[in-house]
Structures are given as C-alpha cells and as structure tokens.
Structure 1
Amino acid sequence: MTPVLVLDGLGVRLPPGADRSHALRDVSLSIAPGEILCVVGESGSGKSMTANAVMRLLPVGVAIDAGRVHFDGRDLATVSEAEMRGVRGAGIAMIFQEPMTALNPLRTIGDQIGEMFAIHTNLAKGAIRARVQALLEEVRIPDPVRAARAYPHELSGGQRQRAMIAMALALDPKVLVADEPTTALDVTTQAQILELIRDLQRRKGTGVLFITHDFGVVAEIADRVAVMQHGLVVEEGPAANVLENPQHPYTRQLIAAVPPLRAPPPRPLADEAILRIEGVSKTYRTGGFLGRGQRVTHAVKDVSLLLPKGGTLGIVGESGSGKSTLARCIVRLVDPDAGHVWFDGSDLATLPRAEMRQRTRHIQMVFQDPFGSLNPRRRAGELVAQGPIVHGAPRAQAMARARELFALVGLDPASADRFPHEFSGGQRQRIGLARALALEPSILVADEPVSALDVSVQAQVLALLADLRRRLGLSIVFITHDLRVAAQICDRVAVMKDGAVVEHGPVAQVFERPAHAYTRALLASIPGRAFGLGRNGGG
C-alpha cells in the first residue's frame, strides 16, 4: 500500500546556543492509510518536533535544513506558507496535548469547529451547524446541541479532547497528527479516547501519527512503533515486535521504567496515625440567581481516612472524583463544609486562619504543574528559600539551606541561581519538592506530582520520594489517577468516585482483590495490560 505520508532523511536545525545542533537528524518514517504509527520517547527526544515539522509549526529560529516531507504529491518542507495553510486541517490535522491552550476560551465549541468549514468550504451557516452537531455525535459527546453552545471551560477534560478530535476530523484529513492527546486524562477517559481514535481511524482510513511517552498507550493503539532518542530514530517496527522483543538498549530502558501494577512487599507501618480525616465534606454551588437554578456539586462527601506515621496514603480516581478537592481541604486551600482534619492534637478544618498559617510549615503541598506554581521571575534558590524567610530565618541561612536541599533532591546546588524555565519538567518537580521540604514538614500532600512526566523521569521522582520518606520520616498523601504509580509508592489506597470513598485498604489487597465494581473498572482501563505493561512489570 502506498504511504500517505513519508518523512525522508528529515533534519531540523536548532538555533545557536541550544543544547545540541539539531532537534532531528536523518528521520525517515512512513504512514500508510488506516495505520497508526506511534512515535515514543522521553522529553527532548524529538517526537513532538517531528509532529511540528510535519505541520510546519516550528518555533522561531528552528528550521528544516535537510530531507523531505512527502504528502499528496508535494514536499511540505519546501511549499509556501500559503500552500501549507491549505494543507493544515484539510489534508493533515492535529490534536494537541492540552485542549484548554488550543481552544479559544472566548468562543463556543460549535463556533470553533464551524470555523473549519467556514474557512475551507462554501457551506451555508445552517449546513455548518448540522455538520458540527454530527461531528460532536460522532466523537460521542453527550448532548451535542448543548456542547456546541458551551465554552471550553464548561466541558470536562475528556469532552474538550473529544471536541478537539471533532475539529481535527471536520474536513476528513488523510493524516491525523496526535501529540500526547491522552497524557493529562485519567485511565477510563484515556481508554475511551484511544478507542475513539482507533474506531474513527478504522472507519475513515486515516493515517495517524501518534506522539506519546506512554508505552501502555503504545501497546493499546499502535500498529507500528518508532522509538526516538536525542533526535534520532533508534528502533522501528511492528508494535508487538518492539514491545515484546525490543532490540535497542534505550527501548528496553523505557519499557523497564513502566511501573508495574503489582505492589512491592508491604512495609511495616506505625500504629499511630499522624493525620485523621473524619467526615470531611465539600459542596460547590454555581450559577443561578438568589439561590434558584443553582448547580450543586458534592465534590467531597463524608470522607474518613487515616494516614499512618511514616506511611503513604494514595487517593485515586477519575477526574472529578473529588481527590484534589480533598487534598485542598487537608491543607486548607479550601475550607470544608463539614468534618475534621486532626493533626498534632488540632483540628485543621476549624483552626482560625492566622493559626492555620503557622501550622502550614508542618504540612506542605507539591503540585502537579511545577512550572505553574513557580514564579518565573524569581531564581530557583530564592523560591526554595522563600518559606523559611517568611517564617523568620535569616536570608543567608535560608539560601544556604536551599542549596543543601537542591543536593538532597538530586539537583546541582549551583543551579539554584537559574530561573524555572531553564530546567526540565522533572527538574522543576524536584524544585517543587525542595521548596516543600524547606520548612521541614511532617506531611507532604502530593497532588498528581508525576502525571506530566515521561516514564523514566517519573521513575526517578518516585524513587526520590520513597528515599525522602525513609530518610526524613515523612508521611505522604499521594493523589494520582495513575494506578500503576499508586501501586509503587503507596502503602494504603483509597478509591474515590463522585466525592465518596468507595474502597479503602492496603494497596496490594485493593489492586489484586478489588471489592468494588468501580475499582475493577479502573483497573481494567489501564492501557497496555495485553502486553503485561501495568500488570507484573514493564515487559
């Protein structure tokens, strides 16, 4: 079968001063109609740059300087920008990792999908509305009429991603480029999106270039796999061959880094609970006028849990299950409506704000997106020292302690003078950990701290957390939607659905002998189980 897209010896040059001369070197790949090619690798491997080169959406100062991109009888590396605008959307469409940054927050979903038809076709407005509704039905968005009238923030993450897929498929492109489209989604939503892409690709015969760092996703969706490292394709072949018999050491390393679902042997835990959560509830009311027509969301419903001293309590569930709201209730970023959070003899849920601020040094939070929680205008060392300075430590002492903490979390102390954007994602997460540890807390509340990291960096951060827990005697509340990660780091796990805990116990018991149907559904949705990924090991 003649390929629909061919990359032949593609090279992409980086601007002077970059960490290497080329983002891509001699990349040759092809995609047949109706085929899914997964390009996999760590951050910086060149996989997303490959997608951007195909779409001619390269950053300023970055340019194709070798090879060809064959599509529809043309070399996209050399066509004019005007010609390329005709290709984007109509011939090759792209789904981005984060739809909230790709969608215009000030325009409805229907308007944004309809714009594809307005630009590329002569359809009348009524016909465009009908096509938009049909597309939203095709990507299985409930109540397509309401969804078309909604703004991006009014849809869930999975629905926004479905809207992006509808937009990409609007003009029946020959090639679909999907750049990490499921990374931020929980396992059940991820499984639905992967099934949707696979189903649409089969029915329409679309060739798919699927960028990911998740080998579980690769196992679930790929026909063929290309593994990239430092801008080079180091291994390529049918998915089953690459997953079951990887030839390159780097491929074997990536597959080995996939965390197994089987929990390690249980650790002995103290009988003493350092944190007791009793009957915590939180309800949100939005919209309406004078209390009428309000939308009521029971984000957390009567949750009671214990965190053993020196232990790690995992809280897992889908997006919207209430796990992050519970974390924010624990540290009083959100005031609970009812219940108690006992720590060191005090009820954190009812402490006056001034007294709560004094307690915050003992319970620190690590966020999912370290870049969003780090001030880009301040140097990393200053960010780590900020907490102790606020609590009265002399600046020189706090800065010296910041450098010690950099070493503790595996960063070069000299890098404390750099700004957040000068670090990789994994390094920024280590800065977030150092900042949380600066006040010598007893408890860390970690909200999805590794969900945005590729598997090898994820493994490093999990190992670091386990080491810090052992060396510093930390107790950890670990929020995650990734059950494989929970299996590796947690001693006990609570499964949340619709704000309530539906199952709770030792991690091995819950994952190996789940009692609740929802827990079983979560476990069944983990991608890659057919290849052993996410079951007993990484391959």
Structure 2
Amino acid sequence: MSPILTLDNVSVSLPAGADRSHALKDVTLTVSANEILCVVGESGSGKSMTANAVMRLLPGGVAIDGGRILFEDRDLAHVSEAEMRRVRGAGIAMIFQEPMTALNPLRNIGDQIGEMFKVHTELSKAEIAARVLDLLDEVRIPDPKQAARAFPHELSGGQRQRAMIAMALALDPKVLIADEPTTALDVTTQAQILQLIRDLQRRKGTAVLFITHDFGVVAEIADRVAVMQHGKLVEEGPTDAILNQPQHAYTKQLIAAVPPLAAPPARAFSAEPIMTIENVSKTYRNGGFFGRGARVTHAVKEVSLTLPRGGTLGIVGESGSGKSTLARCLVRLIDPDSGKIVLNGRDLACLSREEMRVETRHIQMVFQDPFASLNPRRKAGELVAQGPIVHGTPRAEALARAKELFALVGLDPSSTDRYPHEFSGGQRQRIGLARALALRPDVLVADEPVSALDVSVQAQVLKLLAELRQKLGLSIVFITHDLRVAAQVCDLVAVMKSGEVVEAGPIGKVFGDPQHPYTQALLASIPGRDFGLKREAVAV
C-alpha cells in the first residue's frame, strides 16, 4: 500500500545556543491509509517536533532545513503558508495534548467545531449546526445539543478531548496526527479515547500518526512503531517486533523502564501505625445565592485508612475521586470538615494554624508539577533550605544541609545555585523531594509525583523513593492514577471513587483478586495491560 504521508530525510534546525543543532536530523517515516504509526520517545526526542513540522507549526527560530514532507503530490516543507492553510484541517488534522489550552475558552464548543465548515465549505448555518451535532454524537459525547452550547471549562477532560477529535475529523482528513492525546486522562477515559480513535480510523480508513511516550498505549493501538532519540529515528518496525524483540539499546532501555502490572513480592514493614485517618470528610459548595441553589460536592466522604510505620499506602482512582483532596487534608493545605488525622498520637485535624506549622516538620508533601510548586525567582538550594530556616535552623547550616540533600536525591550539590528553569522535569522533581525531606519528616505525602515524567525518568524517581524509604525509614502516602506505578511502589492500596474508599488492602490482593466492580473496571482499562507480562522476557 502506497503511503499517504512521507517524511523523506527531514531535518529541523534549532536556534543558536540550543543544546543541539537540530530538533530533527534526517528523519524518514511513512504512514499509509488505515494504519496507525506510533512515534515514541522521551521528552526532547523530537516526536512532537515531527508532528509540528508536518503541520508547519514550528516555533520562531526553528525551521525545516532539509528533506521533503510529501502529501498528495505536494512537498509541504516548501509550499506557501496560504497552501498550508488549505491542507490543515481538510487534508491533515491534529489532536493536541491539552485540549483546555487548544480550545478557545470564550467560545462554545459548537461554534469552534462549526468554524471548520465555515472556513473550508459552503454549507449553510443550519447544515453546519446539524453536522456539528452529528460529529459530537459520532465521538460519543452524551447529549450533543447541550455539549454544543457548553464552553470548554464546562466539560470534563475526556469530553474536551472528544470535542477536539470531533473538530479534527470534521472534514474527513486523510491524515490524523494525535500528539499525546491521552496523557492527561484517567485510565478508563484513556481506554475510551483510544478505542474511539481506533474505531473512527478503521471506519474512515484514515492514516494516523500517533505521538506518545506510553508503551501501554503503543501496545494497545499501534500497527507500526518508530522510536526516536535526540531527534533521530533509531528503530522502526511492526508493533510486536518492537515490543518483544527490540534491537536498539535505547528501545530496550525504554521498554525495561515500563513498570509491570504484577506487584513485586510483599515487603516487610511494621504492623504499628504511624498515621490513622478516621472518618475524614470534605465537602465543597459552589455557586448559589446566600447558600441557596449551591452545588454540593462531597469530595471526601467518611474515609478511614491506616498508614503503617515504614510502609507505603497507595491511593488510586480517577480524577474527581477525591484522592488529591484527601492528600491536601492530610497536610492541612485544606481543612477537613470532620474526622481525625492522627500522626504519632496527635490529631492534626484539630490543630490551630500555628500548631500545625510546628507539626509540618513531621509530614511533608511532594507535588505533581514541580515547576509550578517551585518559586522560579529563588535558587534551588534556597528553596530546599527554606523549611529548616523557618523552623529555626541557621541559614548557613540549612544551605549546607541543602547540598547534602541534593547529593542524597542524585543531584550535583554544586547545582544549588541554579534556578528551577535550569533543571529538567525529572531533576525538578528531585528538588521537590529534597525540599520535602529537608525537615526530616516521618511521613511523605506524594501527590502524582511521577505522572508528568518520561518512563525512564519515572523509573529513576521511583527507585529513588524506594531507596529513601529504606535509608530514612520514611512512611509514604502515594497518590496516583497509574496502576502500574502503584503496583510497583505500594504495600497497601485504597481505591477511591466519588470521594469514598470502595476497596482497600495489600496491593497484591487488591490488584490480583479485585472484589469491587470499580476496581475491576480500572484494572481492565489499563492500555496494553498484557504488555507488562511480555516485557519480562526483554534483555537489557
């Protein structure tokens, strides 16, 4: 079958002063009709730059300086911008990673999808409105009429992504580029979106270029796989061959870093509880006038759990399940409405702000997005030393301790004088860990600490957490929606749904023999769930 889209020795140059001369170097790829080609690699590998080069959406200072991008007998690398505008949407369409930033927050969903028809067709207003509803129905959004009237913030993450897919498919493009379209989604929503893309692609015969760093997604959806590293294509082939008989050392390294779903052998830890959570509840009331007609959300409902000394308690569930709200209650970033949080015999829930400030030395938090949680105007060493200084440690001593902590989490102690933006995502997460450890806490609350990281960096951070737990005697509450990660790091797990714990127990028992239908549904939705078993045979 002849390819619809061909990249022939494409190179994309970077501005002077970048960490390398080219974002892409001599990349050759083809995608045919009714085929899904997954392009995988870590951040900086060039996979998203490949998509942007095809669409001619490169940032300033970045340019195609070699090769051809062939589509329908045209070389897109050299056509005019006016010609590219005719190709975008009608010939080649793109689904972006974060629909909330790709969608206009000031226009409703129906208008934004309808604009595709206004620009590229002669359809009447009534015909466009009907076509929009058909598309929303096609991507399985419930109540298309209401969704068309809704603004982006009024839809869930999965619904926003479906709206983006509807927009991309509006003009029946021959090529669909999907740039990490499921990365930010929960496992069940992710499974639905992958199935939707696969179904639509088969029905319409579309060629799909699917960008991802998730090998579970690759196993679920790809016909062929292309592996990129530092802007170069290092390996390409059928999915089964790449996943089970990889040839390149980098591909082997990436696959070896994927956490298997099966839990490791049970680890010994104390039966003595270091923290008990008793009937904790948190309710939010939004909107309404003088309290009337307010929307009530029971974010956490009567949750009771126990964290053993030296153990790791995982809390898993989808967005909106209440797991992050519970985490913030534990460290008193928000106050629970009721219940007890007893740490070392003291109920944190009833402490005053001043008393809690003293207790924070015993319980610290690591956040999901280290860049957002680190002050960009302060040096990394000062950020780590800040806690001890507030608690009375002399500044010089605290800064010296920061250097020790940098070494402990695998960072160069001399880099304490650098600012957060000068570190990679994985390094910033290590800084977040160092800051949390600076007060020598008994309990670490980690809220999605690896969800934004590449698979190999994720593996490094998880290994570091395990080493720190062993070395420092830490007890950890680990919040995640990634069940593969939970299986590898947690001793106990609690599954949350709509603010409640629906199942809890040892990780091997809960994941090996789930009793609640919701837990069963979560486990069944993991992309490439059998892939973890196959990858055990891969030699590194």
Normalising TM by the smaller chain, what interval?
over 0.9
Aligned to 2:349, what secondary structure does the other structure show? coil
Structural mapping, 1:165-204, within 5 Å: 165-204=165-204
Q: Given residue 243 of structure 1, which amino acid in structure 2 is its aligned partner? A: L
Aligned to 1:185, what secondary structure does the other structure show? coil
Deviation at 1:9, TM superposition (A): 0.3
1-structure distance, mates of 2:290, 2:445: 37
Report the equivalent of 1:378.
378
Query: Bigger shift: 114-123 or 322-331?
Result: 114-123
Runs of 5+ unmatched residues, structure 2: none
2-structure distance, mates of 1:502, 1:307: 17
Counterparts in 2 of 1:524 and 1:537: CA distance versus 1, 3 Å: farther
Q: Given residue 210 of structure 1, which amino acid in structure 2 is its aligned partner? A: F
Deviation at 1:218, TM superposition (A): 0.2
**Are the counterparts in 2 of residues 256 and 537 from structure 1 also a CA contact under 8 Å?**
no
2-structure distance, mates of 1:130, 1:186: 31
Q: Given residue 11 of structure 1, which amino acid in structure 2 is its aligned partner? A: S
1-structure distance, mates of 2:533, 2:122: 48
**Are the counterparts in 1 of residues 24 and 50 from structure 2 also a CA contact under 8 Å?**
yes
1:128 equivalenced with 2:128 (yes/no): yes
CA offset digits 1:419-441 (Å, max 9, x no partner): 22222111111111111111221
Report the equivalent of 2:215.
215
Runs of 5+ unmatched residues, structure 1: none
Query: Bigger shift: 98-107 or 528-537?
Result: 528-537
Report the equivalent of 1:226.
226
1:285 equivalenced with 2:285 (yes/no): yes
1-structure distance, mates of 2:212, 2:303: 36
Report the equivalent of 2:448.
448
1-structure distance, mates of 2:124, 2:388: 63
Structural mapping, 1:24-423, within 5 Å: 24-423=24-423
Q: TM-score, normalised by structure 1?
A: 0.97
Q: Given residue 468 of structure 2, which amino acid in structure 1 is its aligned partner? A: L
1-structure distance, mates of 2:172, 2:324: 38
Deviation at 1:162, TM superposition (A): 1.1
Q: Given residue 517 of structure 1, which amino acid in structure 2 is its aligned partner? A: P
**Are the counterparts in 2 of residues 216 and 533 from structure 1 also a CA contact under 8 Å?**
no
**Are the counterparts in 2 of residues 380 and 416 from structure 1 also a CA contact under 8 Å?**
yes
CA offset digits 1:398-443 (Å, max 9, x no partner): 2222221111111112222222222211111111111111122111
Deviation at 1:295, TM superposition (A): 2.1
Fraction of identical pairs, as percent? 79
Counterparts in 2 of 1:328 and 1:128: CA distance versus 1, 3 Å: same
What's the RMSD between the two structures over aligned residues?
1.6
Counterparts in 2 of 1:535 and 1:324: CA distance versus 1, 3 Å: farther
CA offset digits 1:66-96 (Å, max 9, x no partner): 1010012211111122221222222111111
**Are the counterparts in 2 of residues 261 and 535 from structure 1 also a CA contact under 8 Å?**
no
**Are the counterparts in 1 of residues 302 and 500 from structure 2 also a CA contact under 8 Å?**
yes
**Are the counterparts in 2 of residues 258 and 534 from structure 1 also a CA contact under 8 Å?**
no
Query: Bigger shift: 466-475 or 162-171?
Result: 162-171
1:430 equivalenced with 2:430 (yes/no): yes
2-structure distance, mates of 1:264, 1:69: 46
1-structure distance, mates of 2:265, 2:138: 46
Aligned to 1:503, what secondary structure does the other structure show? strand
Deviation at 1:322, TM superposition (A): 1.0
2-structure distance, mates of 1:80, 1:420: 40
Report the equivalent of 1:3.
3
CA offset digits 1:264-294 (Å, max 9, x no partner): 1111111211111000111222223333333
Deviation at 1:519, TM superposition (A): 1.1
2-structure distance, mates of 1:293, 1:110: 28
Q: Given residue 129 of structure 2, which amino acid in structure 1 is its aligned partner? A: R
**Are the counterparts in 1 of residues 244 and 535 from structure 2 also a CA contact under 8 Å?**
no
**Are the counterparts in 1 of residues 313 and 491 from structure 2 also a CA contact under 8 Å?**
yes
Q: Given residue 310 of structure 1, which amino acid in structure 2 is its aligned partner? A: G
2-structure distance, mates of 1:398, 1:532: 43
Counterparts in 2 of 1:211 and 1:17: CA distance versus 1, 3 Å: same
Aligned to 1:339, what secondary structure does the other structure show? strand
**Are the counterparts in 2 of residues 273 and 308 from structure 1 also a CA contact under 8 Å?**
yes
2-structure distance, mates of 1:120, 1:161: 22
Deviation at 1:538, TM superposition (A): 7.0
Q: Given residue 485 of structure 1, which amino acid in structure 2 is its aligned partner? A: V
Report the equivalent of 1:476.
476
Query: Bigger shift: 304-313 or 13-22?
Result: 13-22
2-structure distance, mates of 1:8, 1:200: 28
Aligned to 1:361, what secondary structure does the other structure show? coil
2-structure distance, mates of 1:396, 1:290: 52
Counterparts in 2 of 1:531 and 1:490: CA distance versus 1, 3 Å: closer
Report the equivalent of 2:512.
512
Query: Bigger shift: 122-131 or 486-495?
Result: 122-131
2-structure distance, mates of 1:112, 1:390: 50
Aligned to 1:279, what secondary structure does the other structure show? strand
1-structure distance, mates of 2:358, 2:163: 45
Q: Given residue 30 of structure 2, which amino acid in structure 1 is its aligned partner? A: S
Aligned to 2:320, what secondary structure does the other structure show? coil
CA offset digits 1:333-371 (Å, max 9, x no partner): 222122111112222122112211221222111111111
Counterparts in 2 of 1:216 and 1:350: CA distance versus 1, 3 Å: same
1-structure distance, mates of 2:22, 2:190: 33
Q: Given residue 383 of structure 1, which amino acid in structure 2 is its aligned partner? A: L
2-structure distance, mates of 1:107, 1:398: 50
2-structure distance, mates of 1:104, 1:394: 49
Deviation at 1:526, TM superposition (A): 1.0
Deviation at 1:529, TM superposition (A): 2.4
**Are the counterparts in 2 of residues 260 and 537 from structure 1 also a CA contact under 8 Å?**
no
**Are the counterparts in 1 of residues 259 and 532 from structure 2 also a CA contact under 8 Å?**
no
1-structure distance, mates of 2:109, 2:384: 41
2-structure distance, mates of 1:53, 1:207: 17
**Are the counterparts in 1 of residues 255 and 535 from structure 2 also a CA contact under 8 Å?**
no
Q: Given residue 91 of structure 2, which amino acid in structure 1 is its aligned partner? A: G
